[in-house]
Amino acid sequence: MDFVQNFPCFSVILCLFAGILSSGLKDKAAMRVNTCLLGIVTLLSGATLLYTLQTGQSFVYVMGKFPAPWGNEIRAGVLEALTALFFCVIMLLSLLGGRHKLLEEVESGKTYLYYVLTDLLLSSLLALVYTNDMFTAYVFVEINTISACGLIMIRQNGRTIEAAVRYMIMSLLGSGLLLLGLCMLYDLTGHLLMSNMKESVARLAATGQYEIPLIVAIVLISVGICIKSALFPFHAWLPDAYGYSTVSSAAILSSLVSKGYIFLLIKIIYRVIGFDIYGDTRIIDVLFAFGLMGMIFGSLSAIKENDVRRMIAYSSVAQIGYIYMGFGMGTEAGMTASVFHILSHAATKSLLFIAAIGLTDVSGGSRKFIELTGAGYRNKWAGAAFTVGSLSMVGMPLFSGFISKLLFAQAAVQNHVKMLPALIVLGVSTILNAIYFMKTVIRIYTPVGYSAYPSITFVKMRVYAVTLVAFILLNVILGISSQPVVDMIRQGLAMFS
Amino acid sequence: MGPNLFINYGEAVAMLLFGIGFGNLLLQSNLIKKIIGLNIMDTAVYLFLAEKGYIAGRVAPIVADGVQDMEAYINPIPSGLVLTGIVVSVSVSALMLALTIRLYRRYHTLDLDEISRQLKKEGL
């Protein structure tokens, strides 16, 4: 066994230990531990990615050396390592970009708790990405929920606590369904490891035995994860949770937490149930329909919104719709597009949240559109970053959003039944996206003769500006040299099955 | 399906309880009732697991009187899952209760809709 094969396990354990260690540290020290941790885990994930690319196959790490049907396993392939690497980079940038707001909005002496929560969140995300055991996945889903709830309510006002309660209620409904579905699947197959479950499910599907319970279990798991990742009709908690929490939390929640659940669903589709059996259950049609509705209604709500943070939050609903639409196509190409969109949306949405905070800061802290007039001149870095994020969301060439839209369109053309609705909604949604994002960009670049608010210079916000530049670069790299990433995703998905 | 339902009455009851808990968590506006619903829902899943792991006539897998025969004991894994699940649900309930206390101190009510109304009035 190569030493690199230990890295996925190391990263999860390191995060857990860093969380425990940080709970006894002062604010500054906890922040440093967190930054070091993110750096180390990024390196470990990068090494894992290189290793899997070189060997060209995935590997299984057996925890505690208990062999397959009994022990707990970690599995890493190209896709897992790529996602883990990406999650770490986005989390690092989100935390750096929102650091000054965190210090402002959270009582001093309590910010170390924020870093404890992010450490735990990262550990649960990595565990969701790497685990090969369904019950472990459930436990880490709950850890993820609890730490995400903490991230929402770390900024103490009535709004955030209410948002946290609503978030918890929806999440708990989702995890209840997930747990029930998982127990049914365990009952049907007699296994908890994904690979063993898949064999049993294939056997059940071939013989037609227990057909209805199997479908019920699949439906329960899918609906549970849809609720947790805020697919369209279950998105009521989302605007408050993203709109009022501190900015790093909003960026992390929108780009990582919901994506972690979606990644788990991808793993379940490929590694537990099997892509073809999942496609035969027709639940993908339901996902497709709700994905399309989310794309339209999310954008419509965003257009109506008069608050820039809530607008970006509603745009997340539309983007989650895109991802589920890709699932709903039921083809390999649709899946690839969805996975690419997970990465692209994570990079863009966190950029938008971080840039929006720079704009509202130079507008007297108000988030209303009228106050934002000319904010792009007062904070040039944030203005440029917001423009890049908006263009990427709308789907301009050069930026990552274009590639994901292109991949979705290509996937739609391959599926004859769903081509027409998918392409029409894709077009409509792009126009709606353009309406609200371009409206904001024009607003922040409308000159005002006299401004009551002062401009801000580079010297005062070095870390913030560097973070924004890194985000922009990430977006442009994903947009220009997307082919290697898409190839990696294809290779990773092939390793899944 | 009819006779099966009667034989597996334990699982049927578990599903009914799950529905009751789910409905309470989703529909009640009182926060404490919501938390009670959450606990009923989780407990229903544990009942389902325990019911599935139990084999009639056998005992819990703790070696007693030197009996080492596998046929004498039930499957221990569902019981292990139930224990893990209980730990998760205890921590989630504690978090929800803590949040409820925070909200109650601020708004002097447990009604989530009423709290939303007051928040709108505050205009935050």
Instruction: Check A135 against B124: CB less than 8 A apart.
Output: no
Residue B1 has pLDDT above 70, yes or no: no
Chain A positions touching B99 (Cβ under 8 A) are 149, 153, 161, 164-165, 168
Least confident of A63-72, A197-206, A320-329: A63-72
Q: How buried is A368 (Cβ within 10 angstroms: 0-12 exposed, 13-18 middle, 19+ buried)?
A: exposed
Could you give the CA distance from residue A53 to residue A61 in angstroms, rounded to a whole number? 17
Q: List, in order, residues 6 or more apart from A38 with CB less than 8 Å away.
A: A88, A91, A92, A95, A122
Summarize chain B as % helix, strand, coil (round to 5).
75, 5, 20
Q: Is A52 within a domain?
A: no
Q: Read off the tokens for A64.
A: 């505690």
Any B CB within 8 A of A159 CB: yes
Any A CB within 8 A of B21 CB: yes
Instruction: Check A176 against B41: CB less than 8 A apart.
Output: yes
Any A CB within 8 A of B1 CB: no
Q: Is A456 within a domain?
A: yes
Residue B7: HSE in the Cβ half-sphere, 13 Å Cα cutoff:
6
Compute the mean pLDDT over every residue in chain A, rounded to the nearest whole number: 90
Q: How confident is the model at residue A181 (pLDDT cuts 50, 70, 90)?
A: very high
Q: What is the pLDDT of residues B51-109, one digit of tens each?
A: 888 888 888 888 777 777 778 888 888 888 999 999 999 999 999 999 999 999 988 99
pTM for this structure?
0.94
Number of domains in chain A: 1
Chain A positions touching B102 (Cβ under 8 A) are 153, 161
Any B CB within 8 A of A157 CB: yes
**Nearest alpha carbon to residue A133 among A76, A60, A193:** A193
Q: Is A454 within a domain?
A: yes
Judge whether A106 and A222 are in contact, CB under 8 Å. no
DSSP label at A76?
E
Residue A81 has pLDDT above 90, yes or no: yes
Residue A451: its pLDDT value, please? 66
Residue A484: its pLDDT value, please? 92
Adjacent-strand bridge partners of B59: B73
Q: How buried is A409 (Cβ within 10 angstroms: 0-12 exposed, 13-18 middle, 19+ buried)?
A: middle
| Other C-beta atoms lying within 10 Å of the C-beta of residue A300 | 16
Any B CB within 8 A of A236 CB: no
Q: Is B8 helix (H, G, I), strand (E, B) or coil?
A: coil
Q: Kindly state the percentage of chain A with pLDDT values over 90.
A: 64
| Other C-beta atoms lying within 10 Å of the C-beta of residue A147 | 22
Q: What is the pLDDT of residues A109-168, one digit of tens each?
A: 888 999 999 999 999 999 999 999 999 999 999 999 999 999 998 888 888 899 999 999
Instruction: Check B52 against A164: CB less than 8 A apart.
Output: no
Any A CB within 8 A of B75 CB: no
Q: What is the pLDDT of residues A435-448, one digit of tens each?
A: 999 999 998 898 87
Q: Domains in chain B and their CATH numbers?
A: 2-122 (1.10.287.3510)
Could you give the CA distance from residue A461 to residue A465 in angstroms, rounded to a whole number? 6
Q: Is A25 helix (H, G, I), strand (E, B) or coil?
A: coil
Could you give the CA distance from residue A242 to residue A98 in angstroms, rounded to a whole number? 14
* Cβ-based contacts under 8 A for chains A and B: 83
Chain A positions touching B23 (Cβ under 8 A) are none
Could you give the CA distance from residue A318 to residue A425 in angstroms, rounded to a whole number? 11
Q: In A, residues 178-197, which contact B (CB 8 Å cutoff)?
A: 179-180, 183, 186-187, 192
**Nearest alpha carbon to residue B86 among B37, B39, B23:** B39
Adjacent-strand bridge partners of A59: A76
Q: Is A4 within a domain?
A: no
Could you give the CA distance from residue B57 to residue A125 in angstroms, rounded to a whole number? 42
Q: Which of B38, B92, B115 sits opposite A142 (nearest CB)?
A: B92
A294 φ/ψ angles, rounded to the nearest 5 degrees = -60, -40
Q: Is A243 within a domain?
A: no
| Other C-beta atoms lying within 10 Å of the C-beta of residue A460 | 9
Residue A174 has pLDDT above 90, yes or no: yes
Q: Determine the structural domain holding residue A443 and report its residue range.
A: 298-497
Residue A320 has pLDDT above 90, yes or no: yes
Could you give the CA distance from residue A91 to residue A93 in angstroms, rounded to a whole number? 5
Judge whether B60 and B73 are in contact, CB under 8 Å. yes
Q: Is A418 within a domain?
A: yes
Residue A124: its pLDDT value, please? 95
How far is C-alpha A14 from the chain's CA centre?
A: 22
Residue B69: its pLDDT value, please? 78
Residue A432: its pLDDT value, please? 93
Residue B124: its pLDDT value, please? 58
The length of chain A, given as a count of residues: 497
Mean pLDDT across the stretch A356-385? 86
Residue A377: its pLDDT value, please? 86
Residue B43: its pLDDT value, please? 95
Could you give the CA distance from residue A367 to residue A372 in angstroms, rounded to a whole number? 7
Q: Which of B26, B41, B106 sits opposite A158 (nearest CB)?
A: B106
Mean pLDDT across the stretch A75-85? 93
Alpha carbon distances (Å) from B48 to A55, A216, A224, B23: 43, 15, 18, 18
Q: Is A293 within a domain?
A: no
Q: What is the pLDDT of residues A218-263, one digit of tens each?
A: 999 999 999 999 898 888 889 888 988 899 999 999 999 999 999 9
**Beta-sheet strands, E only, within A90-196:** none
Q: Is A382 within a domain?
A: yes
A153-182 as b/e: b if 16+ CB within 10 A: bbbeebbbbbbbbbbbbbbbbbbbbbbbbb
Nearest Cα of chain B lies from the Cα of A184 at a distance, in angstroms, of 9
Nearest Cα of chain B lies from the Cα of A179 at a distance, in angstroms, of 8
A275-284 as b/e: b if 16+ CB within 10 A: bebbbebebb
Select the more confidently predicted residue: B67 or A409. Answer: A409
Instruction: Check A173 against B22: CB less than 8 A apart.
Output: yes
Chain B positions touching A186 (Cβ under 8 A) are 78, 81
Residue B2: its pLDDT value, please? 67
Residue B57: its pLDDT value, please? 82
Mean pLDDT across the stretch A374-386? 88
Instruction: Check B99 against A161: CB less than 8 A apart.
Output: yes
The residue type found at A296 is I
Any B CB within 8 A of A161 CB: yes
Residue A369: its pLDDT value, please? 82
Any A CB within 8 A of B116 CB: yes
What H or E segment, with its residue span, contains residue A73?
strand A72-76
Residue A428 has pLDDT above 90, yes or no: yes
Judge whether A139 and A147 are in contact, CB under 8 Å. no
**Residue A449, by phi and psi: left (phi above 0), alpha (psi -120 to 50) or beta?**
alpha
Q: How confident is the model at residue A335 (pLDDT cuts 50, 70, 90)?
A: very high
Could you give the CA distance from residue A376 to residue A359 in angstroms, rounded to a whole number? 7
The residue type found at A177 is L
Could you give the CA distance from residue A413 to residue A266 in angstroms, rounded to a whole number? 22
Nearest residue in chain B measured CA to CA from A134 = B81
Task: Find the DSSP H helices in A245-379.
Answer: 247-252, 258-267, 275-280, 283-304, 308-329, 332-361, 375-378
Nearest Cα of chain B lies from the Cα of A176 at a distance, in angstroms, of 7
Could you give the CA distance from residue B44 to residue B21 in angstroms, rounded to a whole number? 8
| Biggest CA pair distance of chain B | 70
Q: Read off the tokens for B35.
A: 């938390």
Residue B3 has pLDDT above 90, yes or no: no
Judge whether A140 and A127 are in contact, CB under 8 Å. yes
ipTM score for this prediction: 0.94
